[in-house]
Amino acid sequence: MNRTAMGTAAVILAFSLASCSGSAPTRPPEDGGTYESVDDLREAVESAGLLCQELVLDTPPSKFSATSASCSEFTYLAIYTDDVHLEAQLDFWRPVGQRAINVGKNWTVVSEDPKLIQKNLGGSVLHTGP
């Protein structure tokens, strides 16, 4: 085999190995990361396996969020501009008893399946009620 053929074979092998290693599942960021918009958060929630067929934006958004929306009676998404607004929302929910809220760096998801959201999006689960 000549040098050109060997070099080509080496390149093909390297690309093959790189493509195999790229298919390993990645873990979500421990802190949940950030999302630019409620639409981006919706895509992530749907990728996690939670249905969100009809996203209804709140106009105006909830008191502390930059944008908020619901997917159903039991699924609510929100994006916050900073930690102060996010913490204010959590302080509001704590005595109200929202059951469980997924919390990321700049987002919250209230749903019936907080474990699914945490497993796929990361972040933490705040338990505030029964």
Is the pTM for the entire model greater than 0.85?
no
Q: For residue 64, give the nearest of 37, 90, 95 by alpha carbon.
A: 90
Determine the longest span between alpha carbons in the chain, in angstroms.
75
Give pLDDT, residue 86: 96
Task: Express each pLDDT in 74-116 by its tens digit.
Answer: 899 999 999 999 999 998 888 776 678 999 999 999 999 999 9
Task: Express each pLDDT in 7-66 by its tens digit.
Answer: 444 434 444 444 444 555 688 889 999 999 999 999 999 999 999 989 999 999 989 999
Strand partners, 79: 67, 107
Pairing of the two strands 124-127 and 100-103? antiparallel
Pairing of the two strands 107-110 and 67-72? unpaired
Report helix angle 38-48 to 114-121, nearest 10. 100
3-state secondary structure the chain: CCHHHHHHHHHHHHHHHHHHHCCCCCCCCCCCCCCCCHHHHHHHHHHHCCCCCCCEECCCCCCCCCEEEEEECCEEEEECCCHHHHHHHHHHHHHHCCCEEEECCCEEEECCCHHHHHHHHCCEEEECCC
How many residues in total does the chain contain?
130
